[in-house]
């Protein structure tokens, strides 16, 4: 712990003592149901508290007014019925020595009118936002007064819920920021025009909140250090806003972020993936900290303790937001304190967690499948009290590595066969994209876990049935992955796959047609990779737009890159045939709505249609297995043990996971492995 002494120093804010400088910042994992805090939500934050966090801020974007919707799983803080569930959450967090706060938000125009109560959205001015698409009502005096009172009432509920503090959101383009920003405020009354006027609404909110909660309750603000938006708030504007609010005496801390969430590109900046450098907005926090005398909180891709320690020691901030690090490993603080830093599962910035939420789904970590599933999957795998079994795992991709990790943690003898000289499977290809190299960190951590847990890893072994049977296994996990599928168009044998290009086994052509019928990361990565090598790339997809499987943080990054490299995109179009035309390839394209056809000539056609199962070994082993390869899907859905045992002559239980089953993603492969192997 001495190595990170600054991070383990307590922080005093009014009467609240926070035990260390580790912060899980306000976010909505979408675990509330119809605005109500669930047991799942409580367990998620309790796990962070158990893992050593100093302060966990739950209820990200908790609503304050009836026109607010809980469209991405927020808590409804606009009714008194929320108070008992606040108390349950606070008790669960306090039990483990951590503090907790709720973030209160009026989304303003960042709402949909056709959800929840079907009421109009409201803002400083009537300007449509691209992400949410609503036309807000320009707020009248009575709307201003009503929403100010709503903020105050919501803050009072937080205090009455035994929570330690409230954070008011003025970031990501929410209502208070909509009044601040010249990009969204075009008023000519006392709430528009000068920066002083534009700050008026927010200050009136804080005056009402402070009156409602009293002087002994912690109240803070989350705000941008720079909107990074054309015609928006500059860094100097944000420093002035922060200084004015700090000087008011109404707030106790400022939580600083960067950018603005009004566009998909803005989402990619404000909740950044590995597209944005680690700790890229630290200077924004420092600029505000230099001007105010109250504590500064900050998040935005601080993922390692060394950077966090530097930020605290050098005066950039007072509380280090490591929110996504706490999703990847909620026990990372305890592991630091105990000198087990090498065991911390890293957050590499995949962005799967945020992307799911802003796409209307629940937050999940790309490679910690227990996050958000604490009711069903333990964060720490316990050793089995039963017999030690022999487990054979074939394939060293994410699914196979997770199967080996969990089985070894259970105390079994585990042998893993890997056909190549490296672990990681498709992660190796994913890391070839120009800004996604960090994804290789997942394979690196899992590889370290193989060594720590004593897994017998056999590289350069294309396992056959005989290799597996020599082990006399009790359980066999086939994680052989998939084989790239160019698609099912006529002449597909003339095409290459995204894997061919990303792996370097096929040279990049000059004029390329990339037909993406997958909608995931791979096609976009391939388009960007090829274009960065100087190719002219035309991307064709039958979808209405590229990247349908991606959320805004990754999609915004990809679109910025491919358009920046001159890639053209043709949606609603299918590739029907490819044939030779001299030294070129002639491709026939068909609009899926009009059936109109066009022909183009290119040097190279790349087909991306996911994968087909690499299942030869599975099919060979299947007749010799006790379950004939069958998985009990009900048991998987319920997180219970597999019990199918239909072949009395069988010698082992056989399961396939990940792309060896069917084409999905890394998280699905690792979840398959966890749900089976946690009970082996």
β pairing state of 390-394 and 319-321: unpaired
Q: Has residue 362 got a pLDDT over 70?
A: yes
Q: Has residue 2 got a pLDDT over 70?
A: no
Beta-carbon count within 10 A of 383 CB: 11
279 in Cβ contact with 321 (< 8 Å): no
In whole angstroms, give the CA distance from residue 678 to residue 406: 6
Phi and psi, residue 477, nearest 5°: -110, 115
Q: Residue 351: its pLDDT value, please? A: 95
- Specify the DSSP class assigned to residue 625: B
In whole angstroms, give the CA distance from residue 671 to residue 504: 30
Q: What mean pLDDT is predicted for residues 83-92? A: 98
- Report the Cα 143 to chain-centroid distance in Å: 35
In whole angstroms, give the CA distance from residue 625 to residue 247: 72
Question: Terminal CA-to-CA distance of the chain, rounded, Å?
Answer: 36
Q: Residue 299: its pLDDT value, please? A: 81
Residues contacting residue 160 through CB under 8 Å, at least 6 positions apart: 83, 86
| DSSP β-bridge partners for residue 475 | 391, 653
Tell me the torsion sign for CA atoms 671, 675, 678, 680: negative
Average pLDDT, the chain: 96
Q: In terms of Cα–Cα distance, which of 549, 543, 544, 489 is closest to 525?
A: 549
Q: What mean pLDDT is predicted for residues 290-298? A: 98
pLDDT tens by residue, 123-162 = 999 999 888 899 999 999 999 999 999 999 999 999 999 9
Q: Has residue 95 got a pLDDT over 60?
A: yes
Q: In angstroms, what is the C-alpha Rg of the chain?
A: 27
pLDDT tens by residue, 512-568 = 999 999 999 999 999 999 999 999 999 999 999 999 999 999 999 999 999 999 999
pLDDT over 70 percentage in the chain: 100
Q: In terms of Cα–Cα distance, which of 545, 32, 556 is closest to 261?
A: 556
pLDDT tens by residue, 265-279 = 888 888 889 998 889
Three-state SS annotation for 532-591? HCCCEEEEECCCCCCCCCCCHHHHHHHHHHHHHCCCEEECCEEEEEEEEECCEEEEEEEE
Segments making up each domain of the chain, as ranges: 2-358, 390-483+613-677, 486-609
In whole angstroms, give the CA distance from residue 97 to residue 579: 68
Q: Residue 71: its pLDDT value, please? A: 86
Q: Has residue 1 got a pLDDT over 80?
A: no
Q: Has residue 370 got a pLDDT over 90?
A: yes
In whole angstroms, give the CA distance from residue 277 to residue 304: 13
CATH of 2-358, one of 3.40.1740.10, 2.40.50.140, 1.10.630.10, 3.20.20.70: 3.20.20.70
CATH of 390-483+613-677, one of 3.20.20.70, 3.40.50.720, 3.40.50.880, 3.30.70.1150: 3.40.50.720
β pairing state of 604-608 and 511-516: parallel
CA triplet 520, 526, 528: central angle to 5 degrees?
105
CATH of 486-609, one of 3.40.50.2300, 3.50.50.60, 3.40.50.11900, 2.30.40.10: 3.50.50.60
In whole angstroms, give the CA distance from residue 112 to residue 114: 5
pLDDT tens by residue, 582-612 = 999 999 999 999 999 999 999 999 999 999 9
In whole angstroms, give the CA distance from residue 514 to residue 498: 9
Q: Residue 432: its pLDDT value, please? A: 86
Q: Residue 3: its pLDDT value, please? A: 86
Q: What mean pLDDT is predicted for residues 460-472? A: 98
User: Looking at 100-109, 259-268, 304-313, 329-338, which range is the least confident one?
Assistant: 259-268
Q: Has residue 647 got a pLDDT over 70?
A: yes
Q: Residue 277: its pLDDT value, please? A: 85
166 in Cβ contact with 155 (< 8 Å): yes
């Amino acid at each position: 712990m001495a190595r990170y002494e600054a991070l383990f120093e307590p922080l005093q804010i009014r009467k609240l003592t926070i035990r260390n400088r580790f912060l899980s910042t306000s976010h909505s994992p979408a675990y509330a149901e119809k605005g109500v805090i669930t047991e799942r939500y409580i367990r998620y934050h309790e796990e962070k508290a158990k893992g050593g966090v100093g302060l966990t801020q739950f209820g990200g974007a908790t609503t304050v007014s009836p026109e607010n919707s809980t469209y991405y799983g927020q808590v409804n803080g606009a009714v008194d019925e929320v108070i008992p569930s606040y108390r349950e959450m606070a008790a669960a967090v306090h039990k483990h020595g951590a503090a907790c706060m709720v973030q209160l938000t009026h989304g303003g125009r960042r709402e949909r009118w056709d959800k929840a109560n079907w009421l109009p959205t409201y803002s400083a001015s009537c300007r449509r936002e691209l992400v949410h698409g609503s036309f807000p009502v320009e707020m009248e005096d009575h709307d201003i007064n009503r929403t100010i009172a709503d903020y105050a009432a919501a803050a009072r509920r937080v205090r009455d819920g035994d929570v330690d503090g409230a954070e008011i959101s003025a970031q990501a383009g929410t209502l208070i920021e909509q009044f601040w920003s010249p990009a969204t405020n075009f008023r000519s009354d006392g709430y528009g025009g000068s920066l002083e006027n534009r700050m008026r609404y927010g200050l009136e909110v804080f005056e009402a909140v402070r009156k409602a909660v009293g002087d002994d309750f912690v109240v803070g603000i989350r705000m941008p250090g720079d909107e990074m938006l054309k015609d928006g708030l500059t860094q100097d504007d944000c420093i002035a806003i922060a200084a004015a609010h700090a000087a008011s005496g109404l707030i106790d801390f400022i939580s600083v972020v960067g950018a603005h969430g009004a566009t998909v590109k803005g989402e990619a900046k404000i909740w950044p993936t590995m597209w944005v450098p680690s700790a890229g907005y630290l200077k924004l926090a420092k600029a505000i900290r230099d001007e105010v005398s109250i504590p500064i909180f900050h998040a935005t891709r601080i993922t390692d303790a060394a950077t966090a320690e530097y930020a605290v020691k050098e005066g950039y901030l007072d509380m280090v937001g490591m929110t996504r690090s706490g999703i990847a490993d909620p026990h990372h603080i305890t592991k630091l304190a105990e000198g087990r830093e090498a065991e911390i599962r890293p957050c590499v910035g995949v962005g799967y967690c945020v992307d799911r939420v802003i796409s209307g789904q629940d937050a999940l970590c790309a490679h910690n499948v227990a996050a958000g599933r604490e009711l069903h999957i333990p964060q720490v795998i316990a050793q089995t009290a039963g017999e030690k079994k022999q487990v054979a795992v074939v394939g060293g991709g994410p699914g196979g590595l997770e199967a080996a990790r969990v089985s070894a943690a259970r105390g079994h003898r585990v042998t893993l066969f890997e056909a190549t000289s490296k672990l990681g499977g498709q992660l190796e290809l994913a890391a070839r994209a120009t800004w996604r190299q960090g994804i290789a960190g997942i394979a690196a951590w899992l590889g370290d876990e193989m060594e720590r847990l004593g897994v017998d890893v056999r590289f350069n072994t294309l396992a056959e049935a005989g290799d597996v049977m020599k082990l006399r296994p009790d359980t066999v996990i086939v994680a052989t992955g998939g084989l790239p599928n160019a698609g099912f168009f006529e002449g597909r044998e003339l095409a290459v796959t995204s894997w061919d290009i990303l792996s370097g086994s096929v040279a990049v052509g000059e004029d390329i047609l990339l037909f993406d019928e997958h909608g995931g990361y791979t096609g976009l990565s391939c388009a960007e990779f090829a274009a960065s090598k100087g190719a002219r790339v035309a991307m064709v997809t039958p979808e209405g737009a590229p990247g349908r499987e991606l959320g805004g943080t990754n999609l915004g990054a990809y679109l910025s890159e491919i358009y920046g490299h001159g890639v053209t995109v043709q949606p609603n179009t299918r590739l029907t045939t490819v044939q030779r035309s001299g030294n070129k390839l002639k491709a026939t394209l068909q609009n899926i709505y009009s059936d109109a056809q066009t022909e183009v000539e290119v040097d190279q056609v790349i087909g991306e249609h996911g994968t087909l199962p690499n299942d030869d070994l599975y099919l060979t082993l299947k007749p010799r297995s006790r379950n004939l390869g069958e998985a009990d899907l009900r048991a998987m859905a319920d997180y219970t043990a597999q019990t199918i045992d239909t072949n009395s002559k069988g010698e082992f239980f056989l399961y396939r996971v990940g792309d060896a089953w069917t084409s999905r993603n890394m998280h699905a492969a690792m979840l398959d492995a966890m749900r089976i192997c946690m009970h082996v």
